[in-house]
Amino acid sequence: MYGTLRGALAGRKIPFERDSYAATVEGRISGIGKTIRIKSIHVHYDLAVPPEAQEATERALQLHPQGCPAHQSVKDAIAITWDASVRVGDHAITVHEEADNTPA
């Protein structure tokens, strides 16, 4: 998802600070003995964009899971969520996913 979002930003010609673009990933696992199962994954993005790119950045964030092959491959088996802290000029906003990505 990290690479897909980076590509979505670059494809939209959204200037972002490449040095400070980061993602933190947390997973929840369960299992018995030596066998584990990944139950959920949460991705938190940190990035900075200029004020004129805020709307396009929010759109790229909302759409990037649909364009991510890894996300599309496991989304029905593993709950995947994301959020982002976006520095826009001199202020910060938080963007959350809109859809419920809980597996059926």
Q: Among 6, 7, 10, 11, which Cα is nearest to 21's? A: 6
At the topology level of CATH, where does 2-96 sit? GMP Synthetase; Chain A, domain 3 (3.30.300)
Model pLDDT for residues 57-88, shown as the tens digit of each residue: 999 999 999 999 999 999 999 999 999 999 99
Residue 99 is predicted with a pLDDT of 57
Judge contact between 95 and 84, C-beta under 8 A: yes
Model pLDDT for residues 20-65, shown as the tens digit of each residue: 899 999 999 998 788 899 999 999 999 999 999 999 999 999 999 9
Q: Is the pLDDT of residue 13 over 60?
A: yes
Judge contact between 74 and 94, C-beta under 8 A: no
Residue 103 is predicted with a pLDDT of 52
Domain ranges (residues) in the chain: 2-96
pTM for this entry: 0.86
Judge contact between 15 and 49, C-beta under 8 A: yes
